[in-house]
Amino acid sequence: MVRFGVVGCGGIGTEHIKRIMNTLSGGTIVALNDINEEHAQSLIKEMGLNAKFYADGHELVHADDVDAVLVTCWGPAHKEYVLDAVKLGKYVFCEKPLATTADDCLEIVDAEMKQGKHLVQVGFMRRFDAGYVALKQAIDNGEIGAPLMLHAAHRNPVVDDRYSTDMAINDTMIHEIDVLHWLLDDEYVSAQVVYPRKTKYAADHLADPQIVMVETKKGVRIDVEIFVNCKYGYDIKCEVVGEDGIAYLPEPATVQVRKEAALRRPILMDWKERFVKAYDTEIQAFINNINNGTKLTGPSSWDGYAAALTADVCVKAQQKPGEILPITLKECPEFYK
Ligand code: NAD
Ligand code: ISE
């Protein structure tokens, strides 16, 4: 049984606590920490958790009965807790981003390599989504021949006023940054950003929508539309154009209704529903690997670094619209291959 300590019990932290306690097997929650003590205490009470509240997150990480740490607090605080756990040789499941800068991610990578064991899984859940897995299989089986182009869209119905232009990359497109190079088994070499006409629904300080174009080492051209005030739903699209055909990310299975001269199909409204199974599968895989003593199979701290570095370049490209900027990753250590 993996005994989890959780740092950060907000939106996704609460979701993960619920899935570990109610849906998944082989894990339990023994400790909680949040800067908002009242909220964490109320969660313990509401869910009837047999868990201790720690006012200090580091104390939680060090607790003897905590085998693995679930880091689900705000991004800027991820690094300190991940590093702390890794240095103790403890497992960590960290929500994206692993850390907010590429250098901080590398510090985690170094600490993990020093332990000589894979301890970190990053919450890039799309690699566990059945649709993306099927799409990858189609590409890997050679069904569409060599991929040449990829068109993707990441649309959120609405964002709040705290959402800034760089978050379109760091918070939203970061999922495409991770999943698309995994899908194509390729690496990014350059990025460029252009801005279409702005929607009237975006706050004054926010550029929305945006189009990010990246090129890969093998020459695949990728365009990603990020549109976070699209109004109509939460919609994730991916189309891979190959030499012999085109493969699409499957639509989520929602019921079609033919009625009153119309064919209707609901569209989901948020990421929690859209990827609920992927979140379950990624954390179940993490738990199973720990319980079986097998190597972690999910996105690694190196993947966290690759995503952070690529995101940094994309954010710079946002500031120089139209300019193509190089993406230069460090050589991937054998440990992560
Ligand atoms: P949230 O604001 O709902 O929750 C964050 C919680 O962390 C809050 O309860 C806050 O009080 C607590 N917190 C902040 N700083 C802390 C610190 N230093 N120590 C302890 N607790 C602290 O945010 P959220 O939407 O749950 O996002 C949390 C993380 O999960 C973010 O990194 C976000 O990018 C990521 N996330 C991932 C996905 C995904 O699809 N994989 C979806 C949503 C959020
Ligand atoms: C959020 O943090 C997520 O990770 C969601 O998956 C993404 O769709 C959304 O844009 C982000 O704000």
In this structure, is residue 311 part of a structural domain?
no
In this structure, is residue 135 part of a structural domain?
no
Determine if ligand 1 sits within 6 Å of the CB of residue 281: no
How do residues 88-135 score in pLDDT, each as one tens digit?
Answer: 999 999 999 999 999 999 999 999 999 999 999 999 999 999 999 999
- Do both 295 and 227 map to the same domain? no
How do residues 29-51 score in pLDDT, each as one tens digit?
Answer: 999 999 999 999 999 999 999 99
Report the residue among 73, 271, 273 best suited for mutation to probe ligand 1: largest number of ligand atoms under 8 A from its CB: 73
Distance CA 99, CA 118 (A): 17
In this structure, is residue 306 part of a structural domain?
no
**Ligand located closest to 76 CA:** 1
Cα radius of gyration rounded to whole Å, the chain: 20
Determine if ligand 1 sits within 6 Å of the CB of residue 225: no
Determine if ligand 1 sits within 6 Å of the CB of residue 75: yes
In this structure, is residue 197 part of a structural domain?
yes
Tens of pLDDT along the chain (337 residues)?
A: 999 999 999 999 999 999 999 999 999 999 999 999 999 999 999 999 999 999 999 999 999 999 999 999 999 999 999 999 999 999 999 999 999 999 999 999 999 999 999 999 999 999 999 999 999 999 999 999 999 999 999 999 999 999 999 999 999 999 999 999 999 999 999 999 999 999 999 999 999 999 999 999 999 999 999 999 999 999 999 999 999 999 999 999 999 999 999 999 999 999 999 999 999 999 999 999 999 999 999 999 999 999 999 999 999 999 999 999 999 999 999 999 9
Ligand 2: centre distance to CA 194 (Å): 21
Ligand 1: centre distance to CA 9 (Å): 7
Ligand 2: centre distance to CA 78 (Å): 17
- Do both 256 and 331 map to the same domain? yes
Report the residue among 271, 274, 277 best suited for mutation to probe ligand 2: largest number of ligand atoms under 8 A from its CB: 271
**CA 15 to ligand 1: nearest atom:** 26
The dihedral formed by the CA atoms of 261, 267, 269 and 271, expressed in degrees to the nearest 10: 180
- Do both 329 and 260 map to the same domain? yes
- Do both 192 and 326 map to the same domain? yes
- Do both 330 and 296 map to the same domain? no
- Do both 253 and 285 map to the same domain? no
- Do both 189 and 242 map to the same domain? yes
Domain at 62, CATH number? 3.40.50.720
User: What is the CB < 6 Å shell around ligand 2?
Assistant: 156, 171-172, 175, 271
- Do both 24 and 89 map to the same domain? yes
- Do both 257 and 162 map to the same domain? yes
Ligand 1: centre distance to CA 231 (Å): 24
**Ligand located closest to 32 CA:** 1
In this structure, is residue 67 part of a structural domain?
yes
**CA 275 to ligand 2: nearest atom:** 6
Report the residue among 42, 54, 74 best suited for mutation to probe ligand 1: largest number of ligand atoms under 8 A from its CB: 74
- Do both 168 and 252 map to the same domain? yes
- Do both 6 and 91 map to the same domain? yes
Residue 113: its pLDDT value, please? 98
Whether the CB-CB separation of 229 and 160 falls below 8 Å is answered with no
In this structure, is residue 310 part of a structural domain?
no
Can you give the residue range of the structural domain that contains 164? 141-266+322-336
Residue 299: asked if its preceding bond is cis (omega within 30°), the reply is no
Domain count, the chain: 2
**Ligand located closest to 226 CA:** 2
Residue 85: its pLDDT value, please? 98
Residue 259: its pLDDT value, please? 97
- DSSP β-ladder status, 68-71 and 91-94: parallel
**CA 80 to ligand 1: nearest atom:** 18
Whether the CB-CB separation of 176 and 129 falls below 8 Å is answered with no
Ligand 1: centre distance to CA 43 (Å): 15
In this structure, is residue 164 part of a structural domain?
yes
Distance CA 173, CA 225 (A): 9
In this structure, is residue 237 part of a structural domain?
yes
**CA 159 to ligand 2: nearest atom:** 12
Residue owning the nearest CA to atom 3 of ligand 2 = 172
**Ligand located closest to 278 CA:** 1
- Do both 117 and 151 map to the same domain? no
**Order of strands across the sheet with 52-53?**
52-53, 27-33, 2-7, 68-71, 91-94, 120-122
Among 42, 37, 48, 49, residue whose Cα is nearest residue 8: 37
Domain at 176, CATH number? 3.30.360.10
